[in-house]
Amino acid sequence: MSKIFVAGAAGNIGSALMNVLAEKDVDVVAGVHSQDKGDALAATGIDARVFDFADVDSMVQAMNGCDRLFLVIPLQERLTRFGRLAVDAAKQADIEYIVRSSGYAASSDAHWRLGRENGMVDQFIEDSKIPFTILRPNTFMQNFIGPYAGMIKSGVIALPEEDASVSYTDVRDIADCAARLLLNSEGHENNFYALTGPEGLSLSQVAGQIAAASGLDVTYTPISEEAFIENLQGAGLPQWNIDMLVSLSRVVKLGMAGNVTKAVEYLTGSPARTFADFVADNAEAWK
């Protein structure tokens, strides 16, 4: 039986994947970045191992005995270097198959920065000759209960996306797709899948659905890119992260993030979750 290493098991996607895998009869190792997170998972009976993306040896040791890897890399300036080191570690640890959660429209020659950064990591995986499947999900629905929750509670979603649509993806769908591949990759190896929700929504429509579910008065106010940057700087984000988020907002404004695919249903047999499903499940988060 395969043994799966989940890198970033305490993160947004990783924790959702761990929840899905917990329901299966599967041997899983949770890779985490701090001892506190490792101790918390270990207390629930999970095999948790601490590793550092900057340290190949720590990754090799954490992956020891595993033959399948789920790889998601944190959004920070060393993203591509971490990706390269993770692939090197996977080869040394004799990983036989990688599922990578990348980013929508990622490509090593993408014209926008975040797409290019993610695409370079995807290229490292492809060049490694380790069998792989790369998932490229669109913007997460969970952002609205994470970094954007404060804006929503204030009653105004202020972002520089004009009236463009985004086919937001539920992190739980990414986890379902990854679990399906990690348990049985036959027919899907060395393929790429763009994951989206079932519809493109403008932020005005997003605000309307959140308002209806939560009972809050929520509206969308488009802001300039300059104001967006000032807000991010005020929140203390590093300049690299600001640059990445600005590049993403530009892609959205160009109308490149509203496309819909059927990849979630193709991989899992179930339609992608709707934004209405998401807000109904998370309405309490905004109260």
Q: 241 in a domain, yes or no? A: no
pLDDT at residue 225, as a whole number: 96
Confidence tier at 137 by pLDDT (50, 70, 90): very high
Provide the pairing of β-strand 156-159 with 191-195.
unpaired
pLDDT at residue 198, as a whole number: 98
> How far is 205 from 160, CA to CA, in rounded Å?
15
**Mean pLDDT of the chain, nearest integer:** 95
Q: 213 in a domain, yes or no? A: no
What pTM, to 2 d.p., does this model score?
0.96
**Contact at 8 Å (CB) between 132 and 99?**
yes
3-state secondary structure of 287: coil
Q: 264 in a domain, yes or no? A: yes
Q: 204 in a domain, yes or no? A: no
Residue 269, classified by CB atoms within 10 Å of its CB into exposed (0-12), middle (13-18) or buried (19+), is: exposed
Q: 101 in a domain, yes or no? A: yes
Range of the domain at 114: 3-139+169-196+259-273
> How far is 282 from 142, CA to CA, in rounded Å?
9
Confidence tier at 204 by pLDDT (50, 70, 90): very high
Residue 184, classified by CB atoms within 10 Å of its CB into exposed (0-12), middle (13-18) or buried (19+), is: exposed
pLDDT at residue 2, as a whole number: 87
CA dihedral (84, 38, 40, 23) in degrees, to 10, reads 60
- Across the range 146-158, mean pLDDT stands at 95
Q: Report the CATH number at residue 181.
A: 3.40.50.720
Q: 123 in a domain, yes or no? A: yes
Say which residue the tokens 């993403």 belong to.
Answer: 248
Q: 91 in a domain, yes or no? A: yes
Q: Please tell me the total count of domains within the chain.
A: 1
pLDDT more than 90, % of the chain: 93
Q: 245 in a domain, yes or no? A: no
pLDDT at residue 287, as a whole number: 85
Give the amino acid at 240. W
Show the DSSP H helices in 155-256 as ranges.
171-183, 203-214, 225-234, 239-253
Show the DSSP H helices in 45-170 as ranges.
56-63, 79-92, 113-128, 149-154
Q: How far lies 112's CA from each of 108, 109, 163, 233, 282, in Å?
A: 10, 9, 20, 21, 32
Task: Give the model confidence (pLDDT) of 222-272 as tens digits.
Answer: 999 999 999 999 999 999 999 999 999 999 999 999 999 999 999 999 999
